A and B are shown apart, each in its own frame.
Chain A
């Protein structure tokens, strides 16, 4: 941007009798960005406003509004010392010194929000207030050793830095949505990094699936203009890719949020549970749980059954083990009960163990447990008219459905 031939045109800023160089206008910045990145002026304006909001460029007039104006308003590049790139922590001690300096310069006349901040900092940093006042005085005296234009520039740089990091709170909020977005983005960037095991785990899990962070086969369409990647990952493609299937194993949410995943899961359920349970497509993650109090409207498709919430069947229906062969049931029981000393003595505990075993089987197939998916019952009738006849599962009622082999 600073290239004398191809960069943004700079001009001197005139302040009474002082001339300060390297000022650039908002319209020149926007025009340069639009030309350089081949984007429309509105996007260039947004991008320019981002540069101002982050603190790489600061306005010379109306310094409190961190936006780019597409006119002859003047801006200047911020010195690297105040850049946010390195994410140096923004210390309250520095802000207190700045306010003390400003108080000296303006002879005690601070703005309201500055006054409030000053009083607040004095309260909780009281133990080092002598140092803060002395440092402010020394910085003020050192600034006076510099030439007047340079002193003015430094003051503007420092003021711009603190407008970015300690923005004044407006009482009458007339912020444009763009200002809210910029403030939110500023805070997101400036927020201190906090180690979180959940965040680290999330990043470690998903990093391999981000086309910009890791390799994307066959190629990243954004980089090579080859749309094969998008074609292979269409919502209802016949054969899903390996990465896509791997992503389904991360969580139940990933599986159900992918249309192809939902189809495969539906197929799996049909194979496993004799195809007697079906899900309502609009609300897949709540399909089985009978939390729908009202029947669907008459305009709803009759092929989409639902399970009504009734006193007869208030809880999620349990998985039927009858669709599983006896040998598999024994195998699962032995795997899960390796530490258990005794089997459940009677049917009172049998349903719980059956539920647990079935849930374990689901977990083995990559489905994460979820509150809404505790069990399925092939014995529940699916039509709305028969909702009153849904019965809770009892241990002594064997299923009449033939046992099915589990697909995998």
Chain B
């Protein structure tokens, strides 16, 4: 009776699926952190730039770098495994493309932050640009770090004298990401243009779309629209109210006449 060893095949498939799931989770986390980092980076040099923002940027950057290192190691080891099944290899390559694109975005934003933090020093707040924003980005940073909220006391521990040290550290981190991108290209040869995505062309509207802020932005877009209608809705309401008032007065007068007649 021949021995049938199916269990080994099942274990390989299961471990491959698990590796895929782990890789997907890591890449999703990195995408989230990079998205948050972009929001934080857009505030540098503006009127909301502060030590707290710089500290949040640093923490977010560290989180992103840690995730990037884990993903790089994870994907590289699996993609260099020649025994990886073809289907799982395709999925890994898809993750690889997403990871490398994410890393490029992070690298660009880090370079921008490095450049702008050198130009806009916090020592001279008069040079910060009045962009119209007033609130901070602590909630965004908390989302990036997967924390309920950031302790504001943590931000004040970064003294201004360490600003230059922070910049040199940031330069090292930028170089590190740069090297990581180069190493990825050298170690694994993924033909990006051969990768086929799964998702749709159009992103599905999220469950709770922000209609309020969209309406605010749309207000000024509609202000320039030609007013071809003779009466706008506000005038309709005014006329209706006026008519209702007239009707009410008439009704009151008729009741009075009836009672006193």
Closest CB-CB distance, A159 to chain B, in whole Å?
Answer: 8
In the complex, the chain A residue whose C-beta lies closest to that of B41 is A81
In the complex, the chain A residue whose C-beta lies closest to that of B48 is A150
Contact of A86 (CB < 8 Å), options: B115, B205, B223: B115
Chain A 107-137, CB within 8 Å of chain B: the 1/0 string? Answer: 1100000000001001000111111111111
Docked complex Cα distance between A122 and B215 (Å): 28
Let me know if B119 and A80 touch, CB within 8 A: yes
Chain A hits for B189, CB < 8 A:
none
Let me know if A146 and B130 touch, CB within 8 A: no
Say which one of A98-106, A328-336, A361-369, A374-382 lies at the interface with B.
Answer: A98-106
B157 lies within 8 A of chain A by Cβ: no
A157 lies within 8 A of chain B by Cβ: yes
Chain B hits for A157, CB < 8 A:
42, 131
Let me know if B197 and A127 touch, CB within 8 A: yes
Contact of A152 (CB < 8 Å), options: B120, B198, B199, B216: B216
B242 lies within 8 A of chain A by Cβ: no
Chain B 85-105, CB within 8 Å of chain A: the 1/0 string? Answer: 000000000100110011011
In the complex, the chain B residue whose C-beta lies closest to that of A1 is B130
Docked complex Cα distance between A16 and B215 (Å): 10
Say which one of A57-65, A191-199, A310-318, A351-359 lies at the interface with B.
Answer: A57-65
Let me know if A137 and B39 touch, CB within 8 A: no
Interface residue ranges of A132-167 to B (CB < 8 Å): 132-157, 159
Docked complex Cα distance between A115 and B195 (Å): 24
Chain A 1-27, CB within 8 Å of chain B: the 1/0 string? Answer: 011000000100101101011110000
Chain B 212-225, CB within 8 Å of chain A: the 1/0 string? Answer: 11111101110110
Chain A hits for B48, CB < 8 A:
150
Given the known inter-chain contacts A79-B129, A108-B205, please indicate yes or no for A146 contacting B140, CB distance below 8 A: yes
A contact patch SS: helix
Closest CB-CB distance, A88 to chain B, in whole Å?
Answer: 7
Closest CB-CB distance, A243 to chain B, in whole Å?
Answer: 37
Q: How large is the interface on A (under 10, 10 to 19, 20 to 34, 35 or more residues)?
A: 35 or more
Closest CB-CB distance, A4 to chain B, in whole Å?
Answer: 9
B139 lies within 8 A of chain A by Cβ: yes
Docked complex Cα distance between A132 and B35 (Å): 11
Let me know if B129 and A130 touch, CB within 8 A: no
A32 lies within 8 A of chain B by Cβ: no
In the complex, the chain A residue whose C-beta lies closest to that of B199 is A130
Chain B hits for A260, CB < 8 A:
none
B256 lies within 8 A of chain A by Cβ: no
B36 lies within 8 A of chain A by Cβ: yes
Let me know if A142 and B130 touch, CB within 8 A: no
Let me know if B131 and A153 touch, CB within 8 A: yes
Interface residue ranges of A62-92 to B (CB < 8 Å): 62-63, 76-82, 86, 88, 91
Closest CB-CB distance, A113 to chain B, in whole Å?
Answer: 15
Docked complex Cα distance between A93 and B36 (Å): 17
Docked complex Cα distance between A152 and B195 (Å): 36
Given the known inter-chain contacts A130-B98, A135-B102, please indicate yes or no for A77 contacting B130, CB distance below 8 A: yes
Contact of B101 (CB < 8 Å), options: A16, A80, A128: A128
Chain A hits for B238, CB < 8 A:
none
Given the known inter-chain contacts A80-B44, A86-B115, A130-B198, please indicate yes or no for A21 contacting B132, CB distance below 8 A: yes
Let me know if B130 and A22 touch, CB within 8 A: yes
Chain A residues proximal to chain B, CB less than 8 Å: 2-3, 10, 13, 15-16, 18, 20-23, 60-63, 76-82, 86, 88, 91, 93-94, 100, 103-108, 119, 122, 126-157, 159
Task: Sort A-B residue pairs by CB-CB distance and give the 7 closest, nearest first.
Answer: A80-B45, A138-B35, A145-B139, A22-B130, A131-B98, A130-B197, A147-B135
Chain B residues proximal to chain A, CB less than 8 Å: 28, 31-32, 34-36, 38-39, 41-48, 94, 97-98, 101-102, 104-105, 108, 112, 115-116, 119-120, 126, 129-135, 137, 139-140, 142-144, 192-203, 205-206, 209-210, 212-217, 219-221, 223-224
Q: A2-B129, A80-B120, A153-B133 known; 5 other A-B pairs, CB under 8 Å?
A: A22-B131, A60-B220, A122-B201, A136-B203, A157-B131
